[in-house]
Amino acid sequence: MGEACKDALRVGFDRAIRLEFHGAKISTDAGLMVHRDLDDAAQLTESAAAELFDFRSGNHIRHRMAALLRQSIYSRLAGYEDVNDAERLREDPVMRHVVGGRAVDRKAASTSEVGRFETDVLRHEDNLAALMNMPGQWVDRIRQRRAIKKLILDMDSSVSETYGQQEGSMYNGHFACTCYHPQFLFNQDGDLERALLRKGNVHSADHGRSVLEPVVQRYKDVDIPKFFRADAAFAQPGVYEYLEAEGYLFAIRLPENSVLREHVRHLEKRPVGRPSKQPLIRYLSFAYQAQSWDKPRRVIGKVEWHEGDLFARANFVVTNLAWPAKRVVSFYNKRGLAEQWIKEGKYAVNWTKLSCHDFDDNQVRLQLFALAYNLGNFLRRLALPPSVKHWTLTTLREKLIKTGAKMVHHARYVTFQLAEVAVPRRVYRAILDRIQPFAAILPRAAPI
């Protein structure tokens, strides 16, 4: 790629400038090296590949499962969500080295090889089940190296617009488009615990238990406080009962009704005097039992008066927390972080780019996007120095991953000469220093 074209290009404003293309020696994605270092330290793709069943046969298998899995994940992390991009990426020196194996000295997998891996090998029933468990398993591997003191789970759904006759594509009245309706479960650090692709016309809470229960089981023996937050779509008796049985503390928004409104009617009286420029907020805690509930539960009512409003705004949260009402509402409001993380998944790794015809193929793609998102989030929260700790995943891709580099071969080493415009050497040094403590803590999986 590039070397096949020997003639240099010239620009009109300065004829002394020549443009040469050396795609096998120069890369625009050198920042993937630090992600690969964290991957190796925590044995993420290595352990994940060990869970996959390789049913390929014959003497012409060029790339092992771990290499193909890395190429699928790292290409998405760098913004190459289209499988067709593999034809150019297979020559890229950084991609070849992060993929490893045969790709280092030759080429990474071609478009057809990556396509068969994602739509044939990973679509196998056993492999798809293993792939759906991998985001949570990666979180566990990080947790084994850095323990957590509490667990907060945030569940939400999103939209992935579809085009043409994609299997499972349906019109969704809420989003006003033809789409898929994926569901996501995050922890308090922004790590994606589990994701599920669903048909476009399902309710926001449909299949929620199938997403929630595997995660709850993984943490069952972890002795820490456990919390759950969700919006009004998940305000269902079965959800409350399940969380109570599993020892979770929860805060879930309740849809407004006349009975709830009556409880806070006395707080809705218009304040006397000139309206304040700051919202006037009042809270009320009371017991409430809907007809479908097995027992009364605590509900927090929040009533707000805003300048210029004719009527008060009222919101309700059902909870089993014993905290003061204001603290419960403040805790629930942080559920909005999940919406921010979903946006990062959309814009940083393009996980709404689900363009295959078959539904199961798109389920595979969503899980690969989830792994790419988690790898990026692990690096952001565990390895970034304070000066860049505030960076979003989009900023990380544009400034860190998209670092230009030239590869130079020496007798014993391969040197990547990196550009130092957006991310200087000291930041790279700080990132690599923070990754080191994660290495060599657990026994490694068998080589793949």
Render 276-320 in DSSP notation, one character per residue.
Answer: PSSPEEEEEEEEE--TT-SS-EEEEEEEEE-TT-SS-EEEEEEE-
Report the C-alpha gap between 131 and 142 in whole angstroms. Answer: 17
The β-bridge relationship of strands 151-157 and 160-161 is unpaired
User: Looking at residue 188, what DSSP letter applies?
Assistant: T
Spatial neighbors of 107 by CB under 8 A, at least 6 apart, are 90, 91, 96
**pLDDT digit of tens for each residue in the chain (448 aa)?**
444 456 888 788 888 888 877 767 889 999 999 999 999 999 999 999 999 998 887 766 788 899 999 999 999 999 998 888 888 899 999 999 999 988 888 899 899 999 999 999 999 999 999 999 999 999 999 998 889 999 999 999 999 999 888 999 999 999 999 999 999 999 999 999 999 999 999 999 999 999 999 999 999 999 999 999 999 999 999 999 999 999 999 999 999 999 999 999 998 887 777 767 788 899 999 999 999 999 999 999 999 988 777 788 899 999 999 999 999 999 999 999 999 999 999 999 999 889 899 999 999 999 999 999 999 999 999 999 999 999 999 999 999 999 999 989 888 888 999 998 889 999 999 999 999 988 755 554 444 4
- The interaxial angle of helices 237-245 and 208-218, nearest 10 deg, is 10
**170 three-state secondary structure:** strand
Q: Which two tokens stand for residue 256?
A: 């407004």
- The interaxial angle of helices 359-383 and 425-435, nearest 10 deg, is 100
Token pair 């789970």 is found at 153
Report the C-alpha gap between 437 and 162 in whole angstroms. Answer: 43
pTM: 0.92
pLDDT of res. 447 = 43
The residue type found at 111 is T
Question: 390 near 118, Cβ under 8 Å?
Answer: no
Question: 119 near 367, Cβ under 8 Å?
Answer: no
Radius of gyration of the chain (CA): 25
The residue type found at 3 is E
The β-bridge relationship of strands 249-254 and 226-230 is parallel
User: Looking at residue 202, what DSSP letter applies?
Assistant: S
Report the C-alpha gap between 192 and 139 in whole angstroms. Answer: 8
Phi then psi for residue 397, to 5 deg, are -65, -45
The residue type found at 209 is R
168: left (phi over 0), alpha (psi -120 to 50) or beta: left
The β-bridge relationship of strands 160-161 and 177-180 is antiparallel
**426 three-state secondary structure:** helix
Report the C-alpha gap between 136 and 44 in whole angstroms. Answer: 11
Question: 199 near 168, Cβ under 8 Å?
Answer: yes
